[in-house]
Amino acid sequence: MRTCPASFRPTAPASTDFGACESAGRSPAAVDVHDRVGDVTIPSAPASPTTSSALSTDATARPTSAAATALRNLREVGGPSLQTGRRRTIYRADTEVVEPTAYPGSLIAVLDLRRDDEVERVPHPLAATAGYQRMPLFDPSSAIESADAAVQLDEQYIDWLERHRATIKIVFRTLAQIDGDALVCCSAGKDRTGVVSALLARLWGADLDQIGADYAATRENFAERFAAELAASNDPERTRIAQNVVPEIMINVIEHIEGRYGSVEGYLTSIGLTDDEIRALKH
């Protein structure tokens, strides 16, 4: 994996217009994503994908001297072999306090799927670059309110794909517009990033075993973190469910999508992506 040079030059990829939030007297950053689902304005498709040189960081983007030099859950979507020979590489990652040099040097865009409170707690190391975009999807724990009401992760992911179609459309439309290497990230790089990554990988021809293995890689990458979280948890059952990162979870999600829509392409069409956008995502 390439490392980031000392500086990169940014360009902004497609933007998201949350004008409806502003008209209500609230800034987009202050509105919970659940308020956005019904009133977002989806960006229109461009005539051709946007191209750019690599991102550039300035001093304000750099974390403190205590920052780590590597991300625990950074990898290529679908595994290292799936994207070989493609025109660009899409990466997936968690978000930690790291040096900007922890990221691939070829990135021209970063899609941050985290909520406002998550971003406030841990600002993204590349947030000062013009290629950085916030695209908050959904609360990754809202459906697991207690051990008694806990749901399995595959059920939760399937629910997301049906209830949050508008925001998922924004993410995939933006990815279709980016003609270069990009990063999709959330807090752990497991749930929101995992769902987006699985759909992309299947669209590119990954088999179910590949998709399951890519999803489950987080379990090994976060072994120490998961152990610490479980030891400190006030609700161990809920924590165990949230940490159940096994291949079958994401395989079940893809099988559900294909059973209902025929294919991932069919799902993307159903949420409003055009043939040209899906073609751009495939290539």
pLDDT level of residue 58 (50, 70, 90 thresholds): very low
* pLDDT averaged over every residue in the chain: 78
Residues 242-254 have a mean pLDDT of: 92
Examine residue 98 and state whether it is found in any structural domain, yes or no.
yes
159, 165, 166, 168 alpha-carbon torsion, rounded to 10° = 90
Inside any domain, residue 1: no
Q: How many percent of the chain have pLDDT more than 70? A: 72
Average pLDDT over residues 22-47: 33
The answer to whether residue 135 scores a pLDDT higher than 70 is yes
Percent above pLDDT 90 for the chain:
57
**Number of independent structural domains in the chain:** 1
pTM for this prediction: 0.76
Please check whether residue 112 lies inside any domain of the structure.
yes
Residue 206 CB partners (closer than 8 Å, separation 6+): 78, 79, 82, 214
Q: Residue 236: inside a domain, yes or no?
A: yes
pLDDT digits (tens, 9 = 90+) for 269-282: 999 999 999 999 99
In a domain, 12, yes or no: no
Range of the domain at 199: 19-282
pLDDT for the residue numbered 42:
35
Q: Within its chain, how far is the Cα of 192 from the centroid?
A: 5
What's the confidence (pLDDT) of residue 51?
Answer: 53
Residue 40 vs residue 215, higher pLDDT: 215
Give 136's pLDDT tier (boundaries 50, 70, 90): very high
Q: Is residue 9 situated within a structural domain? A: no
55-59, 63-67, 162-166, 246-250: least confidently modelled range: 63-67
CATH number at residue 206: 3.90.190.10
User: Per the domain annotation, does 4 fall within a domain?
Assistant: no
Residue 111: pLDDT over 50: yes
| Residue 8 domain flag | no
183 burial (CB, 10 Å; 0-12 / 13-18 / 19+) is buried
Model confidence at 133: pLDDT above 80: yes
User: What average pLDDT does the segment 80-107 reach?
Assistant: 94
